[in-house]
Amino acid sequence: MSKFFVLKYIAFFSGCAACFILHTQFNIPAVVASCLVGLVGSFIPMPKTYGQHPHAAIYAGSFAGMCSDGLINSYWELAGISLIGAILYAVTTKVFTGFGGKLGSIAFVSVALYMLAKGVIV
């Protein structure tokens, strides 16, 4: 799939969990929490061999982390969403070039697929 999949998964999960914690535990609005996570994530130094993919995965994860705490009950569920999101991110890396809507779409589809699998959406 991708030679840096584990790094993408860790980045996606970090962004997802950080945003989720900020807006559920600290009552920061979800959009502001996502912006903060994306901003801080963009300053994390990465070797040039990784490109911008870890930063983009953090930002996509922050979109997925904007979920309501009524849908997500544990950090294991965030890990499941992050796994789906990292797989989608790795698969679509060369399919969709650029970031125009790609990261938000990946976040939406990963959460929707997880909720479908969980049985919340009928």
Mean pLDDT of the chain: 88
Burial class (CB in 10 A: 0-12, 13-18, 19+), 117: exposed
pTM of the predicted model over 0.75: yes
Average pLDDT (46-59) is 83
Indicate whether 70 pLDDT > 70.
yes
Neighbours of 52 (CB within 10 A): 12
Indicate whether 23 pLDDT > 80.
yes
Which residue, 81, 62, 82, 76, is CA-closest to 21?
Answer: 62
Give the pLDDT band of residue 121 (cuts 50, 70, 90): low
**Contact assessment for residue 57 and residue 8, using Cβ atoms and an 8 Å cutoff:** yes
In the structure encoding, which two tokens stand for residue 122, read together? 């009928």
Residue 98: per-residue pLDDT: 62
**Contact assessment for residue 62 and residue 28, using Cβ atoms and an 8 Å cutoff:** no
Give the structural domain span for 36. 5-118
In the structure encoding, which two tokens stand for residue 120, read together? 């919340």
Number of domains in the chain: 1
Indicate whether 77 pLDDT > 50.
yes
